[in-house]
Structure 1
Amino acid sequence: MSKIIKVLRPAILCFVVMTILCGVIYPGVVTVIAQAVFPNQANGSIITVTLKDGTKKDFGSTLIAQEFTKPEYIIGRPTGTTNLSPVGEEQEKLVKERIDWWRALDPNNTADIPMDLVTASGSGVDPNITPEAAEYQVARIARERGISEDAVREIINKNTTGRFLGFWGEPAVNVLKVNLALDSLL
Structure 2
Amino acid sequence: MDRLPSWIRQHVAALRALLVLTVVTGVVYPLVTTWVAQAVFNGKANGSLVERDGKTVGSAIIGQKFTDKDGNPLKKYFQSRPSAAGDGYDPLSSAASNLGPEDVLDVLPNPQGADAAAKEGKQSLLTQVCARSKAVGELEGVSGARPYCTADGVGAVLKVFPDRAVSVNQACPATPFVATYKGLKVECGKPGEDYAAGRTVPVRGGAGTPAVPADAVTASGSGLDPHISVAYADLQAPRVARERGLPIERVRSLIAANTTGRALGFMGDPVVNVLELNLALDRP
Q: Pick from 76, 97, 102: which aligns with 1:87?
A: 102
**Structure 1 residue aligned with 2:223:** 124
Instruction: Summarize deviations over 1:46-87 as a string: whole Å, max 9, x none.
Output: 11122xxxxx11101111111022121111111224222233
Quote how far apart the aligned CAs of 1:10 are. 2.3
- How do 1:127-166 and structure 2 match up within 5 A? 127-166=226-265
Instruction: Summarize deviations over 1:77-110 as a string: whole Å, max 9, x none.
Output: 1122422223321111000110111122122x34
CA–CA separation in structure 2 for the residues paired with 1:27 and 1:170: 35
CA–CA separation in structure 2 for the residues paired with 1:96 and 1:106: 15
**Structure 1 residue aligned with 2:82:** 78
Say if 1:64 and 1:127, in contact at 8 Å, map to a contact too: yes
Q: What are the ranges of 5 or more consecutive residues in structure 1 without an aligned counterpart?
A: 51-55
CA–CA separation in structure 2 for the residues paired with 1:114 and 1:138: 14
Q: What are the ranges of 5 or more consecutive residues in structure 2 without an aligned counterpart?
A: 67-72, 85-95, 105-123, 144-209
Identity %: 42
- How do 1:1-186 and structure 2 match up within 5 A? 2-50=5-53, 56-68=54-66, 69-80=73-84, 81-89=96-104, 90-107=124-141, 109-110=142-143, 112-184=211-283
Give 1:139's aligned amino acid.
P
CA–CA separation in structure 2 for the residues paired with 1:105 and 1:86: 26
Write out the 4+ residue segments of structure 1 that deviate beyond 3 Å after TM superposition.
Answer: 1-4
CA–CA separation in structure 2 for the residues paired with 1:43 and 1:133: 29
Quote how far apart the aligned CAs of 1:126 are. 1.0
* CA 1:87–1:71: 2 relative to 1, 3 Å: farther
CA–CA separation in structure 2 for the residues paired with 1:129 and 1:20: 43
More strand by share: 2
Give 1:58's aligned amino acid.
T
Describe the SS at the equivalent of 1:15: helix
Give 1:151's aligned amino acid.
R
Quote how far apart the aligned CAs of 1:15 are. 1.7
TM-score normalized with structure 1 length: 0.88
Describe the SS at the equivalent of 2:51: strand
More helix by share: 1
TM-score normalized with structure 2 length: 0.59
Task: Give the CA RMSD over aligned residues.
Answer: 1.8
User: Who wins on radius of gyration, i.e. which is larger?
Assistant: 2
Quote how far apart the aligned CAs of 1:2 are. 4.2
* CA 1:182–1:87: 2 relative to 1, 3 Å: farther
